[in-house]
Amino acid sequence: MNVIIPPKRRDGGTSFMKLVGYLSLRDEKKPDDVITPDKTEKTSSRSSQAIFDRLVDYVERRNDFSSMQVVASFPDGREQVIVGGVECETNCFSLETAAAEMNMVAAQNRHCKDPVYHFILSWQEDETPTPSQVFDSARHCLEKLGMANHQFVTAIHRDTDNIHCHIAVNRVNPETYRAANLWNDADTLQQCCRVLEKRFGFKQDNGSWVWGDNNTLRRAPWRFRNAPQGAAKREIFSDKESLYHYAVRQVRSKITDAIKNKTASWNYFHLLMHANGLGLREQSGGLVIYDIARPDTMMVKASDVHPSLSKTRLEPYFGPFEAPPRFDSEDLEEGGMQSITTTNPNSRCAIGRREKSVVKKGLLHAMTSNCVIKNTAIHG
């Protein structure tokens, strides 16, 4: 499992104004605005009071006609409900009043300009956590962030290939009215993911922490960079996996293994990318990874996917960058790799399954076994 933290705006305002595409509770009109027949569009409220309302509506996937079914209530005040097919949990008096409750508590702290905290927990494609496991995971993260008693709403989304949950929490404590200090929150949540994977038997995902000797967490050997802001924003808006996170999930660990096993080469990188519907090319003096289906519009910096994928690190060992080999349509008849021409945004899911077939037949190994490795390892 992994975590996504939506980026905050640099001007200190909330980043959720662009996150939520739902109608605001009220319209705002500036005094100097002129209403004309051709200017009747609605604008989102910019008041802090409306922020929680739109965020809660978003994580619940609520619409005006959604019916709410109470599933369970707990002695500590938590309640689990189903709203429009979406499973939710909250510790507010009711999910229907959660936004108003959060607004009232946040208003008691005049110094906290951005009381909304929002993060996403995502599981790997082949994992199916139960609602209990998802809600337990969310509460564990809140406890480690120092917000165990803060107001929250958790919603499980199952409409993508990766089951994930959104957690919206009020940074202002409902008893002391003090705002939680979230310094180093990303690192804390990464550690939470490793602990929860072990607790519930999930596979260990990529991250900045791994399990070491004596059953203790330690820093991962590779210090991977954070996801680009554009990748996180795309996932927040559309609930579809970004090219960056898809590439990380599909090829990062394989690149690390190839470097450690001394089987890496330019040809290996090209074959690995193509087996997953991706491509590697030179651009603006560096390297980028792109989507074969949309080579001119969807791309990500190669070193963001893996720090070793840069010309300065690879060329001293493998020589100047080599263009990818030609991939003919005949490859598909051999059960191998093909270029994906569909414009379906979910086509990468099928690519992952195709890669398993490729690896099973040993094609990728056979095509890379003759690669000449110019050095035994890459340091760095």
Given CA atoms 336, 337, 341, 342 in this order, what sign does their dihedral have? positive
The length of the chain is 380
DSSP 8-state class, residue 31: T
Closest Cα partner for 275 from 366, 338, 328, 333? 338
What average pLDDT score do residues 293-315 get? 88
Using alpha carbons, list the distances in angstroms from residue 172 to 16, 32, 145, 148, 306: 17, 35, 13, 12, 37
Q: How far apart are CA 102 and CA 92, in angstroms?
A: 8
Tell me, rounded to whole angstroms, the distance of Cα 79 from its chain centroid.
27
**How many C-beta atoms lie closer than 10 Å to residue 40's C-beta?**
7
CA dihedral 154, 155, 161, 162 (to 10 degrees): 10
Residue-level pLDDT at 321:
93
Residue type, 70: V
Residue-level pLDDT at 16:
32
Residue 29 scores a pLDDT above 80: no
Using alpha carbons, list the distances in angstroms from residue 183 to 132, 139, 187, 189: 28, 19, 9, 11
What average pLDDT score do residues 290-296 get? 88
Burial class of residue 366 (count of CB atoms within 10 Å of its CB; 0-12, 13-18, 19+): exposed
Residue 42 scores a pLDDT above 70: no
Residue-level pLDDT at 65:
46
| 181 contacts: CB under 8 Å, gap ≥ 6 | 146
* Alpha helix (H) residue ranges in the chain: 16-19, 49-60, 98-106, 131-144, 185-200, 229-238, 243-247, 253-260, 266-275, 302-305, 311-318, 330-333, 347-360, 363-368
Residue-level pLDDT at 179:
96
Residue 347 scores a pLDDT above 90: no
Q: What is the mean pLDDT of the chain?
A: 75
pLDDT band per the 50, 70, 90 thresholds, residue 287: very high
Q: How far apart are CA 251 and CA 257, in angstroms?
A: 10
User: pLDDT tens digits, residue range 133-185?
Assistant: 999 999 999 999 999 999 999 989 888 889 999 998 999 999 999 999 998 89
**How many C-beta atoms lie closer than 10 Å to residue 30's C-beta?**
7
